[in-house]
Structures are given as structure tokens and as C-alpha cells.
Amino acid sequence: MISTSPSIKGPAVFLAQFLRDEAPYNNLKNIGQWFTDLGYKGVQLPAWDQRIIDLDKAASSRAYCDDFNATLRGMGLVPTELAGYLQGQVLAVHPAYETMFEGFHPPGLRGKARTDWATDQLKKCILASVNLGTTNIPVLSGGFAWHMVYPWPQRPAGIIEEAFKELATRWRPLLDLARDNGVVFGYELHPGSDIYDGATFETFLANTDDHPAACINYDPSHFLLQQLDYLDFIRIYGQRIKGFHVKDAEFRPSGRVGVYGGYQSWSGRAGRFRSLGDGQVDFKQIFSLRNEAGFDGGAVMEWECCVKSPEQGASEGAPFITRHLIEATKVAFDDFASGGSDVSRNRRILGLD
């Protein structure tokens, strides 16, 4: 993969939003070659989509994964991550959302059966990641308390604590398995999940004993839509960030709609996802901060725009990311003025000799 040295790699792309049952978007070889021709060097894989990867085989067979990687290499691509977003979301589901999330899992699963399926799938994501040679599994946390995000009616005392206690109970065995296999879960802090900002991530960490495998897949678009300082977030949680979605967004409130969106479609909301470069996210600062923090993962475009076509978004994404990659400097800009130094000279400068 083309990369800055020693930091961010790219450009890469998350395949999920581009998959369709028509060429060239209908299988790994077709869509992989399409993205290669557009200038991408890496792909993030949706673990739930059989058009891209057979998760059962990937989890059980190193040979399958070796062949899979060879297919990608033949197109000039590498896998950046194996993503388990849908499986993570349905690991923990409030009953009010059961019907709406039915498309995230096989038909007929409810309650414990759905949780068991999601747990098994996420275990397979861990094993498949090991076989593929990737180390971060981007996920959503799922949750039980999202419908109480606004404190009206007043939340009963202890109810949020109980929600996070149960969430941690479901994730803890998976976090342990990930740690034991040298893999982490990168939680994307996302509305609809109980982990959606820094405070909720800290609450989850407190309930999992600050687990080393509980990490973050950083996506500034979700932070901009909730008006969170996405640059300061990097400064606070940078060491936990193990994945990076390069995704743009805009927030343009009016006298009609604001943060809550008025139940409007995406095009009518104040907060909207946009193609790269068309929104308000300050990617120059983000790439600088991530580079300074030593992040060496992939810069993965996630495309979700309500204005442009996916084809235009994809064609513009690779050059946009490439322009923002930083080749870390190995010299100081003022080295030309250096006079050299040693202990004796330093002591003379300080007036100590």
C-alpha cells in the first residue's frame, strides 16, 4: 500500500456502500478492479456480505485467506480491516428496535438467539482478521438506552448504569478473545448505539476495566453532526484510535431544523453526510493530528452522500485522500542553523562554567 512514512496509509475505501447486484459492483474481483482503476490501494471489507468474503471460511482457513489476499494483491490492493458493523449493532438491541434491525441478521432471530448469532459472528471476525493479517475490527456497539438520549421524561436513577453493565457483559468475552489474538475492536461512535461520544466511550471503558481491546474507529462526520469538537477528541482519545473513516459532513441549521432533524429525509436535515471535500470537516487538521499521534492505519473513505452519485464520490475520493497524506519529516526545518552541541558547550551557554 502507498503510505506516508511512518504514518497514515491510503487511499482506501469501505466497500459496503458501493455493492450492488450489477457489474462492476457485484463481487470482489469486479469492484476491486474498479477501485484500483480509480487509484485506491486498500479496501475495508464488510464481514456480512457474501459477495465479498465468506466469513465462515475466512475464520476457519488460513489458506482461504491467503488466496483472498493474493486476489487483492493481483489488483494492487490490500485489506485494511474486516468490519463487523451489523453484527455489533445487533449484539445488543432494545425491543423497540427489533423489527427495524431485522435486516441486519438472518430471518427469525430474536432475543437470545439473535445475541448468540451476533456473538458467534464477531468471534469469527476475530479469527478471520488473524488469518487475513488485519488487527482492527470496526464495529457498532449496539445498545439498550439510545431512546433515552434526551432526558425527558426524567430517566430513572441507575438505568444508564444498568444498560452499560449489560452491554459490557455481552462484549467482555469478545474483547478478551480479541486481546488474546492480538486484535482490537474499533467502536465507531455512532447514533443508535449506546457508545456514541467520548463520555459514553469512557463509561464503557469503566465497565470493561479499561480493556485494551476496546478501541475506536474514528469518523469525524458523526461528531460534526452532533456538534462535538472532533479535533479535541483526537487529542483526548488519540491512543485508542485504531481506525479512520475519511467521511465528510455538514451542519447547516435553520429556523426550521437543527440537530434533531425534524424527521426529515437526509436531504432535508440540517446535518448531512457529504462527499469528500463538499462538507465542513477540517481534514487537514485531522490528518496532521493523527500523523503527530503516530497513527499508522489506513485512511478509509466511507461514502454516504445524499447529493452526489456514488460513482462521482468514488472518483473524487482517492485524489482527495492522497492530497491529505503527510510524509512525516525526518529532519527539523532549522537544522541548517544548528551549531552542534555537547555537554561542555551547553554548560558554557548556561553560564555554568
Annotate 136-170 with DSSP letters as a single string.
EEEE---BS-GGGSS--SPPPTTHHHHHHHHHHHH
Give yes or no for residue 170 having a pLDDT over 80: yes
Give residue 339's pLDDT: 74
Give residue 153's pLDDT: 97
Give yes or no for residue 146 having a pLDDT over 90: yes
What is the percentage of the chain residues whose pLDDT exceeds 70? 98
Banded pLDDT at 1 (limits 50, 70, 90): very low
Banded pLDDT at 3 (limits 50, 70, 90): very low
Burial of 351 (C-beta count, 10 Å sphere; 0-12/13-18/19+):
exposed
For residue 11, cis peptide bond before it (omega within 30 degrees of 0) = yes
Give residue 2's pLDDT: 40
Give residue 327's pLDDT: 84
> How much is the mean pLDDT over the chain?
95
Phi then psi dihedrals of residue 243, to 5 deg:
-145, 160
Distance, CA of 266 to CA of 276 (rounded, Å): 17
Distance, CA of 192 to CA of 169 (rounded, Å): 19
Banded pLDDT at 7 (limits 50, 70, 90): confident
What is the percentage of the chain residues whose pLDDT exceeds 90? 92
Rounded to the nearest angstrom, the gap between the alpha carbon of residue 233 and the centroid of all alpha carbons in its chain is 14
Distance, CA of 248 to CA of 280 (rounded, Å): 7
Distance, CA of 224 to CA of 98 (rounded, Å): 28
Give residue 340's pLDDT: 78
Provide the residue ranges of all domains of the chain, joining segments of one domain with +.
Answer: 9-349
Mean pLDDT of the region 118-134: 98
Which of 313, 299, 104, 319 has the alpha carbon at shortest distance from 220?
A: 299
All three cell numbers of 173: 468475552
Give residue 58's pLDDT: 98
Give yes or no for residue 341 having a pLDDT over 90: no
Give yes or no for residue 5 having a pLDDT over 60: no
Give residue 258's pLDDT: 97
Give residue 201's pLDDT: 98
> Tens of pLDDT along 295-334?
999 999 999 999 999 999 999 999 999 999 998 777 777 7
3-state secondary structure of 261: helix
Alpha helices in the chain (DSSP H): 28-38, 55-60, 62-74, 85-89, 111-132, 159-180, 198-207, 220-225, 230-237, 283-292, 310-324, 343-349
| Biggest distance spanned by C-alpha atoms of the chain | 83
Burial of 249 (C-beta count, 10 Å sphere; 0-12/13-18/19+):
buried
3-state secondary structure of 272: strand
Banded pLDDT at 130 (limits 50, 70, 90): very high
Give residue 4's pLDDT: 39
Give yes or no for residue 353 having a pLDDT over 90: no
User: 28-38 vs 310-324: helix axis angle to the nearest 10?
Assistant: 50
CATH topology for the 9-349 domain: TIM Barrel (3.20.20)
> Tens of pLDDT along 178-234?
999 999 999 999 999 999 999 999 999 999 999 999 999 999 999 999 999 999 999
Distance, CA of 299 to CA of 282 (rounded, Å): 15
Which of 116, 130, 117, 135 has the alpha carbon at shortest distance from 59?
A: 130
State how far the alpha carbon of 228 is from the alpha carbons of 190, 199, 205, 220, 221, in Å. 12, 11, 20, 9, 10
> Tens of pLDDT along 229-255?
999 999 999 999 999 999 999 999 999
Give residue 169's pLDDT: 98
> Tens of pLDDT along 269-286?
999 999 999 999 999 999
First-to-last C-alpha distance (Å) of the chain: 53
For residue 24, cis peptide bond before it (omega within 30 degrees of 0) = yes
Q: CB count, 10 Å around CB of 32?
A: 21
Distance, CA of 3 to CA of 241 (rounded, Å): 18
